[in-house]
Amino acid sequence: MNILITTIFNYPHEGGLSSHITTLKKGLEEEGHVVDVLSFSDLPNWKRKLFAQGPGYVMNKVKHGKGQLHNDLKRKALLSKVILEKSSSYDVINSQDIFATLASLESSLPIVGTVHGYYAYEAISRGAIHPNTDEAEKIKRLEQQAYKVAQLNVTVDKRICNYVKEISGVDAQIIRNFIDTEQFNHYSRPEQTRSKYNLPQDAFMLFVPRRLTEKNGVIYPLLALKRLHALYPNVILVYAGTGEQLPALKKKTEEYNLQNHVFFLGSVPHPDMVELYQASQIVLIPSVHSHGVEEATSISAIEAMGSGTPVIAGSIGGLKELITHDVDGLLFGDRDERMLSDFIRYLVENPEIGKTLAKRAKQKVVCNFSHITAAKKFENLYTQAIQKKSMYSP
């Protein structure tokens, strides 16, 4: 089968969507399929700036959100032309966002749309558009349309599946996020990893592998460290990611006088992320409710569980579907920094319990969240989509 994976976003980039594409591609290719990725990054730079990014930037100065919508629509239009040119080479399209789905309509190819989240609400959550505006309503309508026109839709958790049904009336399939479990078969040397990033060798390391955005709750590990610092001065907090919350985090770090205990690594290559998981004592996935958005089945959480390091995560959305509390991880209440600090303290003082949680988590990931298992499920859906498209084609 020849498969085209499409997105209006850049690829590769920092974040779960990019990891999803890379890992799915690897799994499908290992199953014998031909897989290409078409993203905004594949378009000529002058086209990207002239038709989408430049005008979008100017329009946003006039009215916040107007430029974002223009940018998305132009990305869709540019992608659509390339898809049309390439369509004869493929059997099916797997779009990774609503605009990539809509960009595929002029081709004759069946479309499987992967739904990673709540497109309109996530745009509001990250501040790209304001709620209750014409732009927000337009994106909501386009989101509904995208779900209706795809032959099949796939969501990464049950909540998003219910959301798709609620706003569009369309039934979706659920294939939870997944990882390349083989990447953790080769153990790194923690001392080398820490040396590479100038991290204290003997410190107890809390690792936050998240984009620094509001919905990822990245402020709460810092608030928890403030509570714990006097009791455990050897604990450090390490962030790997970029985002709009970075200035606020740095300001709070200085306010709490924790500059020697909090480290901001910025954007980290994925192979190094794998090593950082294994160099840490606890991984924190502190996601929160934000503007109606909840974390899906986080790839970062799955990777952390697969790495053999214990995980503490926010008890919201797909995270509470992924982690069984006190069995293969710990879940703390939404925005509850006190509970988070209590759980960190619990694992600091009971390392054997942490090892047990981590061992069970790794077993769960290997059995249920491997890229090969996911690739086989997608292969089945692609076949269904092809058959469905042929039934209704003239």
14, pLDDT greater than 80: no
117, pLDDT greater than 60: yes
394, pLDDT greater than 60: no
Write the CB contacts of 11 (distance below 8 Å, at least 6 apart in sequence): 18, 21, 37, 39, 40, 41, 42
**Mean predicted confidence (pLDDT) in 291-310:** 83
**By C-alpha distance, which of 170, 107, 110, 108 is closest to 143?**
170
| pLDDT the model gives residue 393 | 61
For 52-72, write each residue's pLDDT tens digit. Answer: 889 888 888 888 889 899 999
The whole-model pTM stands at 0.75
CA dihedral 211, 214, 217, 222 (to 10 degrees): 90
**Mean predicted confidence (pLDDT) in 130-148:** 93
Instruction: Classify domain 183-368 by CATH number.
Output: 3.40.50.2000
Q: What are phi and psi of 13, to 5 degrees?
A: -150, 175
For 305-327, write each residue's pLDDT tens digit. Answer: 999 999 999 998 888 889 999 99
Q: Do domains 2-178+370-392 and 183-368 have the same CATH topology?
A: yes
Cis peptide bond N-terminal to 12, omega within 30: yes
**Mean predicted confidence (pLDDT) in 247-269:** 95
| pLDDT the model gives residue 293 | 67
Tokens standing for residue 363: 């077993």
| pLDDT the model gives residue 391 | 82
| pLDDT the model gives residue 353 | 97
**Mean predicted confidence (pLDDT) in 90-100:** 97
291, pLDDT greater than 80: no
Q: What percent of the chain has pLDDT over 90?
A: 71
Segments making up each domain of the chain, as ranges: 2-178+370-392, 183-368
**DSSP conformational letter for 151:** S
Q: What percent of the chain has pLDDT over 70?
A: 97
**Mean predicted confidence (pLDDT) in 276-287:** 95
Cβ burial of 130 (10 Å; 0-12, 13-18, 19+) is middle
For 338-379, write each residue's pLDDT tens digit. Answer: 999 999 999 999 999 999 999 999 999 988 899 999 999 999
| pLDDT the model gives residue 310 | 97
Write the CB contacts of 254 (distance below 8 Å, at least 6 apart in sequence): none
For 169-194, write each residue's pLDDT tens digit. Answer: 999 999 988 988 888 777 678 899 99
Q: Helix 219-228 crosses helix 246-255 at what angle (to 10 degrees)?
A: 10
How far is residue 254's CA from residue 170's CA, in Å, rounded to a whole number?
49
| pLDDT the model gives residue 222 | 97
| pLDDT the model gives residue 236 | 97
How far is residue 194's CA from residue 215's CA, in Å, rounded to a whole number?
28
| pLDDT the model gives residue 330 | 97
| pLDDT the model gives residue 57 | 86
Q: What are phi and psi of 203, to 5 degrees?
A: -75, 155
| pLDDT the model gives residue 296 | 67
Place of tokens 């960190």: 344
What sign has the CA pseudo-torsion 268, 347, 221, 181?
positive
15, pLDDT greater than 80: no
For 26-41, write each residue's pLDDT tens digit. Answer: 999 999 999 999 999 9
**DSSP conformational letter for 14:** S
Tokens standing for residue 150: 């795809």
> What is the topology classification, in CATH, of domain 2-178+370-392?
Rossmann fold (3.40.50)
| pLDDT the model gives residue 265 | 96
294, pLDDT greater than 80: no
Residue type, 113: G
Separate counts of helices (H) and strands (E) for the chain = 17, 12
Rounded to the nearest angstrom, the gap between the alpha carbon of residue 363 and the centroid of all alpha carbons in its chain is 22
